[in-house]
Chains A and B, each alone.
Chain A
């Protein structure tokens, strides 16, 4: 027996096959080539892992709560079940992520509903069999998943990073609350003292904002009506960043309200203090602006999804025309 055949036989040993199937294995092994063997072994291994993972997940779900040993933080910033394989991460923002995904999916469901698909395809001259045949076609499904996952992962990434920074900031602010109270009473104090932790966290936030604005410009997509509402230049400049700017900006505005450093203090704390104290009521106008930018960004994402779905339907329609279904 060759090594390749032995590998396939080993892989199959895990699977329950009947007498006839097992009797055919010897015959099949004689005529099978190495590449095909590798493919089947890989498929069997993938399936086996899926089954074991599913089994594992269901046993976790079935287990009484007290039988789990809780969560532990790891270097990747996620939380894992103690004494469990690190394949079951628990995200601190999982609920928020699910809500965001649900929101987007609910919106998109309108475009993927059988009625929408049927109306669109029938409008383009497709027959009902075609409509049914392609209502869940791989092309559209792939396009949908790609656009959705990219957009959502961007947004969720930003939210997660902002959340981590916010928590750190909040703890810093809380630790210095006593000093903050005294500073509020004497805003022109010349003895504010340096606040290195706060400075550091704020710098992180600014770096995050800067990175969000300056990255993700690998390609220049064609803008739609929403994203290009203020022209091509501004549109491209803000394309893919509005949602993040809105979130981060609104967050910064709220945080700046808690900045207690005086204008004359050294470092970035002093600079922020100058801004805060020189613009009374900052949040009254900046917060609505950032929220508006956020809403604009969300609308822009909806527009992109709608266009990707439309283009996939058109692509299929063209394929249908070519195939003359």
Chain B
């Protein structure tokens, strides 16, 4: 019988290969070579087995295997429909949090024809309380003539939500809006699914969300052309998206070695950059995502332990973020919604400050200990997807 150690090594190799293959073939994505097919078959078999196992483990939550897309589980709880990658299921929000996220997705959605997903580290929200804002990703078909009109309408927000910023390519508009600055006609003319810099829009909100309180919310909108393609697909990753729409089409598939390699490479690059910038909190978020994908539960558990043991450091960071948000809201002047949200943020800050007082403000030694622990975890994690014996993660990637 194969030892557990050897299967760990085999799992690492397939993912390291995916990254290697992506880096070597990113310029011409041919999906027909023997190497590619072999890796795809291995990924598919692995993802299918894990999805089947997780169906049994999380049956009580109503998930079943998605037979069309290896590695996914689906849940149909009318009117809600979810498609969740198996590796994020253990940490995926449930109950009231999930209901709140689903309601929010309907509020900010740009079209009845679009596919909106929870994305980023929100899918790991249950793992530890590191997640700050709530991120969505939306695929907007350009054939929907009303899509841009709805985007413009969404800029008005509602009683509980304010849209603070819209960015199209290199241009950005901030609240309060100048009348006629950003129109549906402008978007129709300037959004182009074939050009990377013009194929995406980003809308930043701040709002009061049930179960989450006042939080920042972002929606990355990817324009999809008439041919079903978009240059903006490169800004999304299948492994960290949970579509909330009942569609059978997914722009990226987890069992595609090129896509998996692209995601791993992005995570690796982000971890290295964040580690070197000493942004250990965000670095741990990325590490948690990578350890989940790479089947490295011991590292996932270690990250959770590190975070649990240094909650005060995260509280300080959260307080700082809330403070910045509060300042931004107050700078909007006598806007009633902003004033109300700023008041709610103040209340939240007070609660967290009281909690921090219980833990005690972290001293320099605690910060350094946390940073050392995080760096150690990052280095060990990166070793699993190292490209060769002489390759150093300290160097250029």
Closest CB in chain B relative to A92 CB, distance in Å: 17
Chain A positions 300 through 314: 1 when the CB is less than 8 Å from some CB of chain B, otherwise 0: 000000000000000
Nearest B residue to A102 by beta-carbon distance?
B32
Pick from A14, A17, A36, A133: contact of B2, CB under 8 Å: A14
A1 interfacial contact with B, CB 8 Å: no
Q: In the bound complex, do residue A128 and residue B45 qualify as a contact, i.e. CB atoms below 8 Å apart?
A: no
The reply to whether A131 and B227 form a contact with Cβ atoms under 8 Å apart is yes
Nearest residue (CB) in B for A128 is B226
Known contacts being A18-B297, A28-B56, is A128 close to B13, with CB within 8 Å? no
User: Which of A12, A21, A55, A135 is close to B228, meaning CB atoms less than 8 Å apart?
Assistant: A135
Q: Given that A131-B227, A133-B248 are known contacts, is A46 also in contact with B45, CB under 8 Å in the complex?
A: yes
A132 and B224: CB pair below 8 A? yes
Which residue of chain A lies nearest to B294 when distances are taken between CB atoms in the complex? A16
A238 CB, nearest partner CB in chain B, Å: 31
| B52 sits at the interface (CB 8 A) | yes
B297 and A17 within 8 A (CB): yes
Which range contains the number of B residues in contact with the other chain?
35 or more
In whole angstroms, what is the CA distance A127 to B142 when docked? 11
- B190 CB-CB contact with A under 8 Å: no
Closest A-chain residue to B115, C-beta based? A129
- The yes or no answer to B397 lying at the interface (CB within 8 A) is no
Do B46 and A51 have beta carbons less than 8 Å apart?
A: yes
A40 touching B7, Cβ below 8 Å:
no
The A interface is mostly helix, strand or loop, or mixed, namely helix
Cβ-defined contact, A55 with B4, below 8 A: no
Chain A contributes a number of interface residues (CB within 8 A of B) equal to: 46
Partner-B contacts on A (CB < 8 A): 10, 12-21, 24-25, 27-28, 31-32, 36, 39-40, 43-44, 46-48, 50-55, 57-58, 105, 114-115, 118, 122, 127-129, 131-133, 135, 138
Known A54-B17, A128-B143, A128-B227; 4 more pairs at CB < 8 Å: A10-B1, A25-B57, A127-B143, A132-B229
Give the interface of B toward A (CB within 8 A): 1-2, 4, 6-11, 13-14, 17, 32, 38-39, 41-42, 45-46, 48-50, 52-54, 56-59, 68, 90, 113, 141, 143, 224-229, 247-249, 295-298, 300-301
30 A-B interface contacts by CB (under 8 A): A12-B53, A14-B4, A15-B295, A16-B298, A18-B90, A18-B298, A21-B90, A24-B57, A25-B57, A28-B57, A31-B59, A43-B45, A43-B52, A44-B53, A48-B2, A50-B42, A50-B45, A50-B46, A51-B7, A51-B14, A51-B42, A54-B10, A54-B17, A55-B6, A55-B10, A118-B227, A129-B113, A131-B228, A132-B228, A132-B249
